[in-house]
Amino acid sequence: MKRGLVIGKFMPLHNGHIALIKFAATQCDELIVSMSYTTNDPIDALLRFSWIHETFQNHHNIKPEISRDDFDDDTLPLEDRMGRWKDFIERRFPKIDVIISSESYGEPFARALSIPHILFDLERTAFPISAMRIRANPLACWEFIPPIVRPFFVKKICFFGPESTGKSSMAIRMAKRFQTESVPEVSREILTSNEFSRDDIIRIGAAQTQRVLEKTRTANKLLFCDTDVITTEIYSQFYLNEIPPELFEMEKKIRYDQYFLFQPDVPWVADGIRDLGNRRDEMYSIFKKELDTRKIPYIIVSGSWEEREHRVVDTVQKLFFGTS
């Protein structure tokens, strides 16, 4: 049996990696895909390994493996490093018969193991991309990121603030403008009034969190969210005079890339649930304090509907696309 080896950090796995691995699998009977990691990697090792494992789960001759990189020393000359790599490979895996790579280190690595090397697309003509480029600007490299990896790089944007300030309609409009998804205030699907229990508020927080996670899987680069779990905590404190600890745990599950804090300087509109029309300034101060306490940066949105939309669009374009 001919056994091949592809190595890498796959940080992240991209379409060039996938093409390499599929090609390599045609060059041998069994292909080991060895993913190395360190504790300082910017993308969690188990997450990266899950991307590889799921991508190739139906390719039965491809065997993903994960190994801690505690053997290399990148301060040494390349030829000296190859000896360390050789020792590790011979300890870690069964006999390897061929190395397949898209890297300049492939030839000296194979030479150290005294086995052939097969080179694949060294010049990156088929897939002009690198993991480093993706990490630096993932939205500009979207076409090279596999669907399974894209949710990690989706930029989540939270519209935050007191009731009747235009958050819901803004989330919908921004999703349409940027051809992506939005997440509504899920509590409105659960409650018909502001009379609710502790169990209700936990259920709302869980549903809001789950909806964001679900929409992240299908979003196109950006995800616009009308509210978050901090909002659920604020209303829990206001109406129930307590915040269940479960909400704080849910809050940790999602990190938003940008907050927009909406000021209550537009007309209040009743809708059957809103009941704080005369306390919006007070609630705005509470919302602002929660962000300040957490040291979460935010952009204030105020003025007319047109001014609000321009503020959001301009900020999103500059932050995430480098344009205005």
What CATH number corresponds to the domain at position 99? 3.40.50.620
Same domain as 40, residue 173:
no
* Omega before 245 within 30 of 0, i.e. cis: no
Task: Determine the longest span between alpha carbons in the chain, in angstroms.
Answer: 79
**Residues 13 and 99 both lie in one domain:** yes
User: Residue 78: which pLDDT band, with cuts at 50, 70 and 90?
Assistant: confident
Which residues, 6 or more positions from 28, have their beta carbon under 8 angstroms from its beta carbon? 2, 3, 4, 61, 97, 98, 100
237 and 89 in a common domain: no
The residue with tokens 């491809």 is 62
**98 and 205 fall within a common domain:** no
Answer whether 267's CB lies under 8 Å from 277's CB.
Answer: no
Question: Distance between CA atoms of 324 and 285, rounded to whole angstroms?
Answer: 30
Based on the fold, state whether residues 117 and 266 are members of the same structural domain. no
- Distances in Å between the Cα of 285 and the Cα atoms of 29, 189, 197, 269, 282 are 65, 26, 25, 20, 5
In a shared domain, residues 173 and 129: no
Please give the tally of structural domains in the chain: 2
Kindly state the tokens that stand for 82.
Answer: 């190859």
Is there a contact between 194 and 275 (Cβ–Cβ < 8 Å)? yes
Q: Order the strands of the 181-183 sheet from edge to edge.
A: 181-183, 222-226, 155-160, 258-262, 298-301
Domain identity same for 161 and 304: yes
Residues in contact with 50: Cβ distance below 8 Å, sequence separation at least 6, in sequence order: none
Per the CB < 8 A criterion, the answer to whether 13 and 129 are in contact is no
Last residue of one domain, picked from the residues 137, 163, 181: 137
User: Of 80, 104, 137, which one is at a domain's C-terminal end?
Assistant: 137
Among candidate residues 109, 137, 165, the one where a domain is terminated: 137
Average pLDDT on 20-38 reads: 98
Same domain, 130 and 158: no
pLDDT tens for each residue of 198-218? 999 999 999 999 999 999 999
**Domain carrying residue 251:** 154-321
Report yes or no on 105 lying in a domain: yes
303-312 contacts at long range (C-beta below 8 A, 24 or more positions apart)? 303/265, 304/266, 305/166, 305/266, 308/166, 308/170, 308/262, 308/266, 309/170, 309/173, 311/260, 312/170, 312/174, 312/260
Our CA angle for 286, 287, 293, nearest 5°, is: 85
Helix, strand, coil shares, percent, the chain, to 5:
45, 15, 40
Read off the pLDDT of residues 58-70 as tens digits, 9 standing for 90 and up: 999 999 999 999 9
Has residue 142 been placed in a domain? Answer: no
Strand ranges (E), 26-163: 30-37, 62-68, 98-101, 117-119, 155-160
Hey, what are 60's tokens? 């039965």
The single-letter DSSP state of residue 227 is -
Structure confidence by residue, pLDDT tens digits, 89-104: 999 999 999 999 999 9
Q: Is residue 148 part of a domain?
A: no
Q: What is the mean pLDDT of the chain?
A: 94
**pLDDT tens-digit map of 152-169:** 999 999 999 998 899 999
Q: Is pLDDT of 277 > 60?
A: no
Paired with 65 in beta bridges are 34
Name the residue with tokens 């599929």: 22
The Cα 183–Cα 139 span in angstroms is: 20
